[in-house]
Amino acid sequence: MTDRSTQMALIGAGPVGLGMAKALLEHKIPYEELEADDDLGGNWYHGVYETVHIISSRKTTEYADYPMPEHYPDFPSRQQMLEYLRDYAEKFGLPKHIQFNTKVVMALPLADGKWELELATGEKRIYKGLIVCNGHHWHKRFPNYPGKFEGQWIHSKDYRSPAQLAGKRVLVIGGGAQRLLVSAEDVFRDSFGGDDETVVPGVGAAADDRVAGAHYGGEIQPVRLSRAGPQNF
């Protein structure tokens, strides 16, 4: 057991973790920032596809005390977001406090108010307090449908570029922003060679209303899956 009880533990070096680290430094509160990945940036580093752009404007996304560069577009790209976060970290001297490749697998509150943390390596540490900034985009959630699908089944978090899906017939399940962004990248039109007509195979009924993206004649069309039997599009 390693005693770090004079310091706070800060988990995560994404946008929120970096902002919290700066605040701790400004208030002269000793801390260690523990990051599971090999670089900072959180979801912008490891969890989004190559050509993604943020869906909130730079003016509402930037740190209040560190504006994004004026030459940035209203909706910066993944690379611009990463560069901005790295610049922010360097500006305020944050990287030297980050322990990369340090994954926390357990956090236990102790009777005296301290926290016991266990790392993926098996090492255990005691900290004065704990601040968790690990985000919510790291955990993949898949729907549970009856029946068996023999094809490839991936989460949008595993999508990186249209080349992954070239030549395949694809059904996109989900009505959230990620589905819209992936579909809008034209992966169904320009990258799937040879089949420009309906590419959505038969699917089972959803447990509740869900929206799928279907490709008809070069356009992405939303298709609602209601409480009904199997459907073919």
Tell the burial category of 129 from Cβ atoms under 10 Å away from its Cβ (0-12, 13-18, 19+): middle
Per residue in 204-229, pLDDT (tens digit) is 223 333 333 333 333 333 434 333 33
Question: 15-26 and 78-91 are packed helices; what angle lies between their axes, rounded to 10 degrees?
Answer: 10
What was the pLDDT predicted at 231? 33
pLDDT band at 172 (very low <50, low <70, confident <90, very high): confident
Domain ranges, ordered by start, for the chain: 2-132, 156-222
Query: Phi-psi category of 101—alpha, beta or left, where left has phi over 0 and alpha has psi -120 to 50?
Result: left
Calculate the alpha carbon distances from 79 to 38, 54, 76 in Å: 17, 11, 8
Round to whole Å and give the CA distance between 189 and 200: 13
Residue 79: pLDDT above 90? yes
Residue 180: pLDDT above 90? no
Q: Taking the model in full, what pTM does it have?
A: 0.72
Round to whole Å and give the CA distance between 14 and 4: 23
CATH code: domain 2-132 is 3.50.50.60
What was the pLDDT predicted at 65? 94
CA atoms within 13 A on the CB side of 59: 2
Per residue in 4-40, pLDDT (tens digit) is 999 999 999 999 999 999 999 999 999 999 999 999 9
Please give the full DSSP string across 28-51, using - where no structure is assigned: T--EEEE-SSSSS-THHHHSS-TT
What was the pLDDT predicted at 68? 96
Least confident of 76-85, 157-166, 185-194: 185-194
Per residue in 98-157, pLDDT (tens digit) is 999 999 999 999 999 999 999 999 999 999 999 999 877 767 777 788 888 888 888 877
More confident residue, 194 or 75: 75
What was the pLDDT predicted at 128? 98
What was the pLDDT predicted at 175? 66
Torsion of CA 201, 205, 211, 215, to 10 degrees: 10
pLDDT band at 167 (very low <50, low <70, confident <90, very high): confident
